[in-house]
Chains A and B, each alone.
Chain A
Amino acid sequence: MGEHIIKLPDVGEGVAEAELVEWHVKIGDIVREDTVLAAVMTDKATVEIPSPVDGEILWLGAEIGDTVAIGSPIVRLKVAGEGNVKPQSGEVEAVAAEPPTKLPTPKPESAAPSAKAPPKVAAPETKSAPAVSKSTGRPSVSGAPRPEGEKPLASPAVRLRAREAGIDLRQVAGSGPAGRIGHEDIEAFLARGPQVAKASGLARNDAVEDIKVVGLRRKIAEKMTLSKSRIPHITYVEEIDVTALEDLRAALNKEKRADRPKLTLLPFLMRAMVKAIADQPQLNSLFDDEAGIIHQHGGIHIGIAAQTPSGLVVPVVKHAEARDIWDCGAEVNRLAEAAKSGTATRDELSGSTITITSLGAMGGIATTPVINHPEVAIIGVNKMMVRPMWDGTQFIPRKMMNLSSSFDHRVIDGWDAAVFVQRIKALLETPALIFVD
């Protein structure tokens, strides 16, 4: 039997370190070759780390949320055969005793049971308010005292007492073994605030959850801080009459060929942006403020901000200037699917030169979009709704949609911003213009 050390492989072009976002294994697990051991996140995408060998996990070298340098040992395995480490050489001990920079002190396998099971996800830690019941050294908590979805543990008599008193047992902490709720816990809960408890099932919740900001959330937080601290935003809101566009869209969808995607409003907006950028190419730029250079791009790579189960990501439709409306639609669909299922590649999630963000589905009449640093413009789509519009003699129902767009005021003046949005407005209100070269 020997030992095998797995080092964090190079997960992407030019990346020197990655954040550990998930362990798929724990100490003591038997893994086979290709078993996924962990997931790490680079600045864009999540990458899974598979095991190159069969073996038993002896040691895990980082905790969730840690940033690990490429090449740092992350897993030690017991393997059949010699492995890649000679135990006598002292290298293993060295690994265990001197973790690479930025790694936390690894926990040896002989440690307490808790060390054997690193959390699979960043588990919320519940900090409790002061104990209310007489405790015998056991931690006693108030507020929602157990993980969501877990049934409170109590005998039938206690459950009956709680129901009679109008208490939601989910809000009651149990001081008994395995968190079992006893009669004394009910009494303590009632004593703490009968008016609250008895009122209408509205129980006071004093719980404070400390949730570590890791993974995608941390990336989003860093990115947004950078954008908002560096870029002086100017936001311009304009309303657009999309009645004609909606008619056209409906007609195109009705007549569409089987091999073509169903068109949403997005491809039309993308084409309109391409046309508007032709007049104002400075909008399709990346601003390197440290070097004092504006990189004005010829290729229009439109980022589409998309909400996924794990958070906001921005897949990029590359070269929108070279795609027709159907192609734009198909690419948006493909990327949205990849983003939602978490299979989007690093390349698909980077390289945008201008971004569209849409909260339209949620309603809201205006937003203040945050520019996707280091771009200089972002177009926000608000909800389309039928509004009464005055045509000079009467109110008529029109399909109206607001665009809320932000610009980097260091390089884009308000006037230019307005011209850009007005051009998009003109194109969308007379959609035939989108198709005229």
Chain B
Amino acid sequence: MKEISCKLLVIGAGPGGYVCAIRAGQLGVDTVIVEAGKPGGTCLNVGCIPSKALIHAAEEFEKVAHMAGGKSPLGISVSAPVLDLGKTVAWKDGIVSRLNSGVAGLLKKAGVKTVHGWATFRDGKTVEVETETGSQVIRAETIVIATGSAPVELSFLPFGGPVISSTDALALSAVPKKLAVVGGGYIGLELGMAFAKMGADVTVVEALPRVLAQYDAELTRPVVKRLAALGIEVMTGAKAKGLSTKGDALLVETADGKNAKVAADKILVTVGRKPVTEGWGLDQIDLDMAGKFIKIDDQCRSSMRGIFAIGDVTGEPMLAHRAMAQGEMVAEIVAGHKRSWDKRSIPAVCFTDPELVTAGLSPEEAKAQGEIKIGLFPFAANGRAMTKLGEDGFVRVVARADNHLVLGIQAVGQGVSELAASFGLALEMGARLEDIAGTIHAHPTQGEGFQEAALKALGHALHI
């Protein structure tokens, strides 16, 4: 059996793991990374990137389809478009593949050794990897667990046949005629809306009283309106019960307790994600857990000396950029720098139509801490939004009433995902309303809405 030793071993080459390895490599740490699949993890292979590719394709298709109906206010008309989903998926795979090799290249450039295979802990310092060429034992001074998360399966709707996970949905070769989506969270709605735009007849089944329940109702209202405009039926307070015997429908218990059937040739289950804590020998090292997640401190250290954990396996929010920030921090700690987690905000983006961005505290959370001021600026009063046919939505700024420190920023609207950068920056820098109001925001952009929202909170918005 082959054996190698290193200073740092990273298990999992998702966004957390590969960033950790690259940064460690840059800092001259002797680093090995183990990955059974392709580099990039969920995010790059079956998550963020491919889903956004598909969402973009669906948006383009819907735009053209809209023009084909002769309804475009832009005065453009085209003949009916045709979608070849197989080709779309191939294009998407091309992007993923380019990024895969990009990550592999970056790891190599940073001097990181990549081992392909499935890693299993033997003890707190030793990992055994099943590779194509046999077993490989890796001994490391420090190990970083970055095993990520996987879609949650429902026992009464196991994946297979017409029941698909988000991963499967990104690899469909044809648009389903009727698609039932179980779970009205952000993954379900992002994909459900994309398939609806591509021509699928979509029904969303959500057990809670409303979709996107982690956001406040004011923020999600434009999305709910758009769901209706896209012809997506949303069943809230409804529970999925199973697959019909013929396998052509989803059995549902509606909000009023009645049984219903939702005809579907594909049933997409997006009820959440769970940390991957099995299959790699967690039992061999017996780490303290925080619920189903690995318990970590503010340096991402687990309960065992020399073992760190980062990313989805350590808890919410399960977001790639949180994992990346943790990965970078851990690499620097391993290299001997003084670091600890002191981030003020982890912005979250939901790529529905319109898009949602949140950073920092919601108005409710902020209110719990004391008196607040809220400034809300609608895109209906924003020139750039009008020229893009995207007047629905707004930017909302939440600040402390006494010193105007900005506590949270939210936006809903077309293309607002790109505003996440300035929202995150404002919070991380400790901006006050006056700082945002006093920053020149380029005209004509939707970003002006951010400045106006701050001005509104200060009581002197200029354009409303």
- Annotate B375-419 by CB proximity to A: 1 below 8 A, 0 otherwise: 000000000000000000000000010011100000000000000
Find out whether the CB atom of A153 lies under 8 angstroms from the CB atom of B430: yes
CB of A163 within 8 A of chain B? yes
Within 8 A of A (CB), among B313-338: 337-338
Contacts of B429 in A (CB 8 A): 155-156
Q: How far is the CB of B225 from chain A (nearest CB, A)?
A: 34
CB of B432 within 8 A of chain A? yes
CB of A177 within 8 A of chain B? yes
Cα A163 to Cα B299 in complex, Å, equals 13
Contacts of B403 in A (CB 8 A): 177-179
Find out whether the CB atom of A177 lies under 8 angstroms from the CB atom of B432: yes
Find out whether the CB atom of A155 lies under 8 angstroms from the CB atom of B428: yes
CB of B87 within 8 A of chain A? no
CB of B340 within 8 A of chain A? yes
Q: How far is the CB of A388 from chain B (nearest CB, A)?
A: 40
Find out whether the CB atom of B340 lies under 8 angstroms from the CB atom of A163: yes
CB of A159 within 8 A of chain B? yes
Contacts of A178 in B (CB 8 A): 400, 403-405, 430, 432
Find out whether the CB atom of A155 lies under 8 angstroms from the CB atom of B338: no
Contacts of A33 in B (CB 8 A): none
Contacts of A151 in B (CB 8 A): 344
Cα A163 to Cα B432 in complex, Å, equals 24
Cα A153 to Cα B400 in complex, Å, equals 13
Find out whether the CB atom of A156 lies under 8 angstroms from the CB atom of B428: yes
- Annotate A139-166 by CB proximity to B: 1 below 8 A, 0 otherwise: 0000000000001011110010001101
Cα A183 to Cα B340 in complex, Å, equals 19
Q: Which residue of B lies closest to A150 (CB)?
A: B369
Chain B interface SS verdict (over half): loop
Cα A180 to Cα B435 in complex, Å, equals 12
Cα A179 to Cα B405 in complex, Å, equals 10
CB of B434 within 8 A of chain A? yes
Contacts of A155 in B (CB 8 A): 428-430
Contacts of B108 in A (CB 8 A): none
Find out whether the CB atom of B430 lies under 8 angstroms from the CB atom of A163: no
Give the one of A164, A166, A177 with max B CB within 10 A.
A177
Find out whether the CB atom of B338 lies under 8 angstroms from the CB atom of A166: yes
Q: Given B338, B430, B435, which contacts A154 in the complex, CB threshold below 8 Å?
A: B430
Q: Given B338, B344, B404, B435, which contacts A164 in the complex, CB threshold below 8 Å?
A: B338
Contacts of A153 in B (CB 8 A): 405, 430
Find out whether the CB atom of A163 lies under 8 angstroms from the CB atom of B339: yes
CB of B342 within 8 A of chain A? yes
Cα A166 to Cα B403 in complex, Å, equals 28
Q: How far is the CB of A181 from chain B (nearest CB, A)?
A: 8
Q: How far is the CB of B256 from chain A (nearest CB, A)?
A: 37
Q: Which residue of B lies closest to A155 (CB)?
A: B429
- Annotate B431-456 by CB proximity to A: 1 below 8 A, 0 otherwise: 01011000000000000000000000
Cα A163 to Cα B337 in complex, Å, equals 9
Find out whether the CB atom of B434 lies under 8 angstroms from the CB atom of A177: yes
Contacts of A166 in B (CB 8 A): 338
The tally of CB-CB contacts under 8 A between chains A and B is: 29
Cα A159 to Cα B429 in complex, Å, equals 10
Q: Which residue of A lies closest to B430 (CB)?
A: A153
Cα A414 to Cα B338 in complex, Å, equals 64
Within 8 A of A (CB), among B18-69: none
Within 8 A of B (CB), among A177-200: 177-180
Find out whether the CB atom of B404 lies under 8 angstroms from the CB atom of A163: no
Q: How far is the CB of A152 from chain B (nearest CB, A)?
A: 9
Q: How far is the CB of A140 from chain B (nearest CB, A)?
A: 16
Contacts of B434 in A (CB 8 A): 177
Q: How far is the CB of B191 from chain A (nearest CB, A)?
A: 34
Q: How far is the CB of A183 from chain B (nearest CB, A)?
A: 13
Contacts of B339 in A (CB 8 A): 163
Contacts of A180 in B (CB 8 A): 430
Cα A316 to Cα B429 in complex, Å, equals 56
Contacts of B435 in A (CB 8 A): 177
Cα A166 to Cα B400 in complex, Å, equals 30
Within 8 A of A (CB), among B328-371: 337-340, 342, 344
Cα A319 to Cα B444 in complex, Å, equals 83
Cα A180 to Cα B344 in complex, Å, equals 14
Q: Which residue of A lies closest to B342 (CB)?
A: A159
Q: How far is the CB of A111 from chain B (nearest CB, A)?
A: 17
Contacts of A164 in B (CB 8 A): 337-338
Q: Which residue of A lies closest to B403 (CB)?
A: A178
Q: Which residue of B lies closest to A169 (CB)?
A: B342
Cα A180 to Cα B428 in complex, Å, equals 12
Q: How far is the CB of A153 from chain B (nearest CB, A)?
A: 4
Q: How far is the CB of B424 from chain A (nearest CB, A)?
A: 10
Find out whether the CB atom of B428 lies under 8 angstroms from the CB atom of A163: no
Q: How far is the CB of A109 from chain B (nearest CB, A)?
A: 18
Q: Which residue of B lies closest to A152 (CB)?
A: B430
Cα A151 to Cα B337 in complex, Å, equals 23
Cα A151 to Cα B432 in complex, Å, equals 15
Give the one of A155, A163, A178 with max B CB within 10 A.
A178
Q: How far is the CB of A184 from chain B (nearest CB, A)?
A: 15
Q: Which residue of A lies closest to B406 (CB)?
A: A178
Contacts of B432 in A (CB 8 A): 177-178
Cα A30 to Cα B340 in complex, Å, equals 45
Cα A179 to Cα B403 in complex, Å, equals 9
Q: Which residue of A lies closest to B404 (CB)?
A: A178
Contacts of B404 in A (CB 8 A): 178
Contacts of B344 in A (CB 8 A): 151
Cα A424 to Cα B36 in complex, Å, equals 77
Q: How far is the CB of A165 from chain B (nearest CB, A)?
A: 9
Q: How far is the CB of B338 from chain A (nearest CB, A)?
A: 5
- Annotate A113-157 by CB proximity to B: 1 below 8 A, 0 otherwise: 000000000000000000000000000000000000001011110
Q: How far is the CB of B415 from chain A (nearest CB, A)?
A: 26
Cα A207 to Cα B310 in complex, Å, equals 39
Cα A154 to Cα B430 in complex, Å, equals 6
Q: How far is the CB of A178 from chain B (nearest CB, A)?
A: 4
Contacts of B340 in A (CB 8 A): 163
Cα A179 to Cα B404 in complex, Å, equals 11
Contacts of B428 in A (CB 8 A): 155-156
Contacts of B338 in A (CB 8 A): 163-164, 166
Cα A156 to Cα B425 in complex, Å, equals 10
Give the one of B337, B340, B342, B435 with max A CB within 10 A.
B342
Q: Which residue of A lies closest to B428 (CB)?
A: A156
Contacts of A179 in B (CB 8 A): 403
Q: How far is the CB of A335 from chain B (nearest CB, A)?
A: 34
Cα A151 to Cα B344 in complex, Å, equals 10
Q: Which residue of B lies closest to A176 (CB)?
A: B430
A-B interface, 9 closest residue pairs, ranked by CB to CB distance from nearest: A153-B430, A178-B403, A155-B429, A178-B405, A163-B338, A180-B430, A178-B432, A159-B342, A177-B432
Residues on A lying within 8 angstroms of B by beta carbon are 151, 153-156, 159, 163-164, 166, 177-180
24 A-B interface contacts by CB (under 8 A) = A151-B344, A153-B405, A153-B430, A154-B430, A155-B428, A155-B429, A155-B430, A156-B428, A159-B342, A163-B338, A163-B340, A164-B337, A164-B338, A166-B338, A177-B403, A177-B432, A177-B434, A177-B435, A178-B400, A178-B403, A178-B404, A178-B430, A178-B432, A180-B430
Given contacts A151-B344, A164-B338, A178-B400, 16 further A-B contacts (CB under 8 A): A153-B405, A153-B430, A155-B429, A156-B428, A159-B342, A163-B338, A163-B339, A163-B340, A164-B337, A177-B403, A177-B432, A177-B434, A178-B403, A178-B404, A179-B403, A180-B430
